[in-house]
Amino acid sequence: HGRGERGGPPGYDSTDWQTRMMREAAYYKILDDEKIVGGAIIFDKGSDHIYLGRIYIDPDYQNRRIGAEAMRLIEACYPAARRWTLETPQWALRNQHFYERQGYIKVGEQWLEGEDHGDVLYEKLLSSE
């Protein structure tokens, strides 16, 4: 995860957190030859707005275009969505590069209270055609 530290974002190793996300959001598994290599958590915010809460790929499967294909398939699952938003840590430069390659535009930053970093806010607007 991210800075090469052992572990991952808050909740990644918590059964309770994962179970709650499965109840509150659409939770997708990402497969490569029937093996789970990642996942995505999607929140439908209504009024054609989808929030990408998290997408992740096992480090052993990164740089194979799996994430890009997953993003394309996830977006296709929500054809009425016109606005996609997400946030990623300021220090996660690879994430930022990835999202920008997927057509997301940086729209702002926010500082996280009690954290040693802030987040970069991204948005992708899709036409209704």
Rounded-to-integer distance, Cα 42 and Cα 24, Å:
9
Rounded-to-integer distance, Cα 51 and Cα 64, Å:
24
Take residue 73 and report the two structure tokens written for it.
Answer: 């398939």
Take residue 64 and report the two structure tokens written for it.
Answer: 């194979």
Residues 63-76 pLDDT 10s: 999 999 999 999 99
Q: State the pairing for strand pair 83-89/35-46.
A: unpaired
Q: How confident is the model at residue 1 (pLDDT cuts 50, 70, 90)?
A: very low
Compute the mean pLDDT over every residue in the chain, rounded to the nearest whole number: 88
Residues 10-57 pLDDT 10s: 666 788 888 888 899 999 999 999 999 999 999 999 989 999 999 999
The DSSP symbol for 59 reads G
Take residue 71 and report the two structure tokens written for it.
Answer: 């993003």
Its pTM stands at: 0.85
